[in-house]
């Protein structure tokens, strides 16, 4: 079956700022109250999309969410007109104002969990938007994410978009940041690896001490059931609590997989040796590249975001329809921080020198996102689609040269160069954002 992996990247929103809202995200905490650069952030994200598009990969965009979230401010007890809400929040509850203006939806690895049609019993693509209840500001995203996904994936013959899981501690779900699909090739059935941080029904299970584990086993099991995945195509592995306490709030900060390759740190999973053996058995002994702590510590993995690189198969080496004599060619798209960090760079060089499909590396500047704790892989939601499914997407969301030009022009005209926490109290910012997002609706045609 001819199939492609499509990266749906989040457009960085015009309210991108450093509110330090995510406990356990060390970069977010470190850069709290720094001045952000929304225009630069959005252009960095678009440059990453364009790089992959130019390499022949399928690339799409997801729009920013409407901001500020006025309903949230009103539900928090603030009253008045829209402008009065903003002014009042700035004076009395700046923390709530920062949440209402959060642009964290740009990290679309948290948008949903996706199972492609070749894995599911009914032969449709299944998407479950994440409820993100572990952090207040991100829990505001679920409703708008669902609307956006149902607009793009509206053809019910090919797609099903579920409601987010109920907002209950038992079912805390962080989306694809804790989900990896491994397969021989995109068009063949695969193994879906669900990584959870805690088991709400087993209080004796390993647990972190410093930071909360965000994803539950019960949420993973519920999604696997919703997506009609056969038992042989689902695998549940627990994240190492030591890694969570080191700042690995999602599994995609410590592991990344693509087709038949899994790249991970040796402290990624509980009982790592046994966990990797389960994965090898499920994948018929495919390639696992393990990075030792002696090569790169957990602290260094978090500071460089090496494992939050995007691992992609280049079309000329790994697409469907190639002969078996053609070796897969995979690219590791790393944040620029990995290029200048000697030990991270040494790990990359070691990987490139070894006999495995990863034989190219590119470094990309997404520093504005990195300062808030999101690397290249955080900025994209991976969706495997057949040619027919690709043709059934709604809206002008697949990147083209023209769409890229339009979006860069839109960002340059509509985004502020700088944004501080104090600027969030300016009612004019709300008007600017609403004007910008109205224009974007006309560009993406998602109505």
399-437 pLDDT, tens digit each: 999 999 999 999 999 999 999 999 999 999 999 999 999
* Residue 326 scores a pLDDT above 60: no
| DSSP code for 239 | B
What is the chain's percent helix, strand, coil content, to nearest 5?
Answer: 40, 20, 40
- According to the model, what pLDDT value does residue 327 have? 64
* 360-369: average pLDDT: 97
CATH number for the domain harbouring residue 113: 3.75.10.20
What is the set of active-site residues? Answer: 174, 250, 378
| Closest-CA residue to 195 (of 174, 225, 226) | 174
Q: Are 125 and 117 in contact (CB under 8 A)?
A: yes
Beta bridge partners of 129: 112
Name the residue range of residue 62's domain. 3-444
| Closest-CA residue to 396 (of 341, 447, 353) | 447
HSE toward the beta carbon, residue 401, CA cutoff 13 A: 3
Distance (Å, whole) CA 318 – CA 225:
30
Is the peptide bond preceding residue 68 cis, with omega within 30 degrees of 0? yes
Can you give the pTM of this predicted structure?
0.95
Distance (Å, whole) CA 3 – CA 390:
9
As to burial, measured by CB atoms within 10 angstroms (0-12 exposed, 13-18 middle, 19+ buried), residue 421 is buried
Distance (Å, whole) CA 432 – CA 384:
35
Distance (Å, whole) CA 49 – CA 119:
27
Q: How many domains does the chain have?
A: 1
55-78 pLDDT, tens digit each: 999 999 999 999 999 999 999 999
């Amino acid at each position: 079956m001819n199939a492609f992996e499509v990266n749906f990247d989040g457009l960085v929103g015009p309210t991108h700022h450093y509110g330090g809202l995510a406990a356990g995200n060390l970069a977010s905490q470190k850069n709290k109250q720094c001045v952000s650069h929304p225009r630069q952030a959005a252009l960095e994200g678009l440059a990453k999309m364009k790089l992959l598009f130019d390499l022949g990969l399928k690339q799409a965009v997801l729009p920013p969410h409407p901001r500020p979230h006025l309903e949230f401010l009103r539900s928090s007890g603030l009253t008045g007109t829209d402008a009065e809400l903003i002014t009042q929040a700035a004076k009395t509850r700046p923390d709530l104002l920062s949440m209402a203006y959060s642009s964290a939806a740009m990290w679309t690895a948290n948008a949903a969990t996706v199972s492609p049609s070749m894995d599911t019993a009914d032969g449709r693509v299944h998407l479950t938007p994440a409820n993100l209840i572990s952090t207040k500001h991100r829990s505001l995203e679920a409703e708008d994410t669902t609307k956006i996904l149902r607009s793009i994936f509206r053809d019910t013959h090919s797609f099903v978009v579920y409601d987010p899981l109920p907002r209950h501690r038992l079912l805390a779900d962080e989306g694809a940041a804790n989900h990896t699909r491994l397969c021989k090739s995109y068009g063949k059935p695969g193994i879906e690896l669900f990584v959870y941080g805690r088991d709400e029904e087993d209080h004796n299970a390993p647990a972190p001490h410093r930071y909360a584990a965000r994803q539950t086993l019960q949420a993973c099991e519920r999604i696997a059931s919703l997506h009609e995945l056969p038992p042989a195509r689902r695998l549940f592995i627990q994240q190492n609590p030591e890694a969570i306490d080191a700042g690995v709030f999602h599994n995609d900060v410590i592991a990344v997989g693509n087709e038949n390759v899994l790249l991970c740190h040796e402290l990624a999973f509980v009982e790592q040796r046994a966990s990797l053996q389960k994965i090898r058995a499920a994948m018929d002994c495919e390639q696992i590249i393990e990075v030792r702590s002696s090569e790169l510590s957990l602290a260094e993995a978090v500071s460089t975001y090496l494992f939050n690189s995007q691992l992609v198969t280049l079309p000329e080496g790994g697409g469907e329809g190639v002969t078996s004599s053609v070796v897969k060619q995979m690219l590791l798209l790393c944040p620029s921080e990995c290029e200048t960090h000697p030990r991270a760079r040494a790990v990359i060089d070691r990987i490139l020198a070894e006999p495995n499909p990863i034989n190219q590396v590119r470094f990309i500047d997404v520093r504005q996102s990195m300062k808030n704790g999101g690397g290249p892989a955080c900025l994209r939601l991976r969706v495997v689609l057949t040619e027919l499914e690709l043709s059934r997407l709604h809206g002008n969301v697949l990147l083209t040269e023209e769409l890229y030009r339009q979006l860069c022009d839109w960002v340059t005209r509509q985004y502020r160069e700088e944004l501080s926490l104090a600027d969030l109290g300016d009612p004019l910012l709300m008007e600017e954002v609403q004007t910008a997002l109205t224009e974007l609706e006309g560009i993406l045609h998602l109505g």
